[in-house]
Amino acid sequence: MAFQILLNFFIAFIWMFLSTNFASSNFVVGFILGMIMIYIMRNFFTSRLYISRFWAVIKLVVLFMKELILANFQVFMVIIKPKLDMNPAFFAMQTELEQDWEITLLSSLITLTPGTIVVHLSDDSKTLYIHAIDIDDVDSAVDSIKNSFEKAILEVSRS
Amino acid sequence: MKTNDVILKTTSHVVFFIIFLFSIHVFLAGHFAPGGGFVGGLLTSSAIVLLLLVYDLKTVQKLLPINYTIMTASGLVLALGTASIGMFLGKPFFKHYFDHFYLPLIGDTELHTAMLFDTGVYLVVVGVTLTIIQSIGGDD
């Protein structure tokens, strides 16, 4: 992954030196040419193409924006209801994520979408304890988090 | 009672670099924009204090093996030395000199001896702040 990005930069620099034009636009041209070359040679690399990982990051950002707007709207509906009939709850969620940055990212995404807050992390970093403002069915909430955020993060970190 | 602080650690690893970069930017912007040695030094200290909050004193001392007393002293020497350049050249104390130089990659740059004085201030502020915090936090 890091090696591929470095290789792409290297190809772009070689392109700049070959064409003896050191403008930034020419660097971008060399970078795009390097991307095409790396895509053609994709079977020689042992890890995934960094372009697909980058695409997964963009998809994660778009998903987060969508969830943020939807969850804000839900919390707004809870607030303006005349009757107070919400069901706050704590629930535990098992996570499959391994690395520290993945767990941090998942916790931040859960906390930033309104209505749910990560309050505690178990000592083996396998269980997240989440507080929700209005919840009817715990299993469906866990499933929705697992299917949206966790899947997108796994898509980014898959080697 | 030791809780699992994975989230705090990972976040601080990222935020530390951002604060450090910002402190250098503020330190260099001091001549033509708000900023300067004092604010830059305090921001650098706050980045190191963030590390002190996440880890403990001994770990940070291992990470950054700096003697802050010597840092303070060298900052004072730098500031005084810059101030006394003019005296050796028959000009008053604290006379500053500046000129335009052409540096590679950066281009036309105005270099000023006030920058050296500011570096002295920066070192003194970082040294004093962290000496205070370490001596308060380090009484086991």
Whether residue A68 sits in one domain with residue A36? no
Give the pLDDT score at A41: 87
**Cβ–Cβ pairs < 8 A, chains A and B:** 24
Whether residue A35 sits in one domain with residue A78? no
Rounded to whole angstroms, the Cα distance separating B82 from B122 reads 14
Whether residue A27 sits in one domain with residue A58? no
Collect all residues with Cβ–Cβ distance below 8 Å to A155 and sequence separation of at least 6: A56, A59, A60
Quick one: which H or E segment has residue B38?
A: helix B37-54
For testing the chain A interface, which of B7, B13, B54 should be mutated: the one with the most A CBs within 10 Å?
Answer: B7
Give the pLDDT score at B1: 61
Whether residue A126 sits in one domain with residue A57? yes
Whether residue A38 sits in one domain with residue A22? yes
Please give the radius of gyration of chain A, using alpha carbons only, rounded to the nearest integer.
Answer: 22
Quick one: which H or E segment has residue B10?
A: helix B6-28
Can you read off the two tokens belonging to residue A11? Answer: 């190809």
Per-residue buried b or exposed e for A51-63, using 16+ beta carbons within 10 Å of the residue's own CB: eebeebeeebeee
How many domains is chain B partitioned into structurally?
Answer: 1
Kind of pairing, strands A127-132 and A116-121?
antiparallel
3-state secondary structure of B124: helix
Query: Of residues A114 and B79, which shows the higher confidence score?
Result: B79
Whether residue A140 sits in one domain with residue A100? yes
pLDDT at A62 over 90: yes
Quick one: which H or E segment has residue B102?
A: strand B98-103
Whether residue A145 sits in one domain with residue A71? yes
For the segment B83-103, what is each residue's pLDDT rounded down to a tens digit?
888 888 888 888 887 777 777
Per-residue buried b or exposed e for B129-140, using 16+ beta carbons within 10 Å of the residue's own CB: bbeebeeeeeee
- With beta carbons under 8 A apart, name residues in chain A contacting B11: 104, 108
**Residue B9's domain spans which residues?**
5-137
Nearest CA in chain A to B8: A104
Query: What rounded mean pLDDT belongs to chain B?
Result: 88
Whether residue A98 sits in one domain with residue A63? yes
**Residue A20's domain spans which residues?**
1-44
CA distance A70 to chain B (A): 25
Whether residue A21 sits in one domain with residue A77? no
For the segment B102-127, what is each residue's pLDDT rounded down to a tens digit?
777 777 777 788 888 999 999 999 99
For the segment A107-152, what is each residue's pLDDT rounded down to a tens digit?
999 998 888 899 999 888 889 999 988 888 778 878 888 788 888 9
Nearest CA in chain A to B6: A100
Whether residue A63 sits in one domain with residue A40? no
Rounded to whole angstroms, the Cα distance separating B97 from B94 reads 10
pLDDT at A30 over 80: yes
Average pLDDT over residues A63-87: 88
For the segment B9-48, what is each residue's pLDDT rounded down to a tens digit?
999 999 999 999 999 999 988 878 888 889 999 999 999 9
For the segment B42-73, what is each residue's pLDDT rounded down to a tens digit?
999 999 999 999 988 888 888 889 899 999 99
Inter-axis angle of helices A24-40 and A50-80, nearest 10:
100
Angle at B39 between CA B35 and CA B41, to 5 degrees: 125
CA distance A129 to chain B (A): 12
Whether residue A136 sits in one domain with residue A153? yes
Q: In this complex, is the C-beta atom of B1 within 8 Å of any C-beta atom belonging to chain A?
A: no
Average pLDDT over residues A60-74: 90
Q: What is the pTM of this model?
A: 0.79
Can you read off the two tokens belonging to residue B12? Answer: 């601080």
Whether residue A86 sits in one domain with residue A17? no
The interface residues of chain B toward chain A in range 10-39, judged by CB-CB distance below 8 A, are 10-11
Give the pLDDT score at B140: 56
- pLDDT-based confidence at residue A17 (cuts at 50, 70, 90): very high
Query: What rounded mean pLDDT belongs to chain A?
Result: 88
Eight-class DSSP state of B67 = -
How many domains is chain A partitioned into structurally?
Answer: 2
Count Cβ atoms below 10 Å from residue A83 Cβ, excluding itself.
5
Bridge-partner residues for A127, per DSSP?
A: A94
Q: Do B9 and A120 touch (CB under 8 A)?
A: no
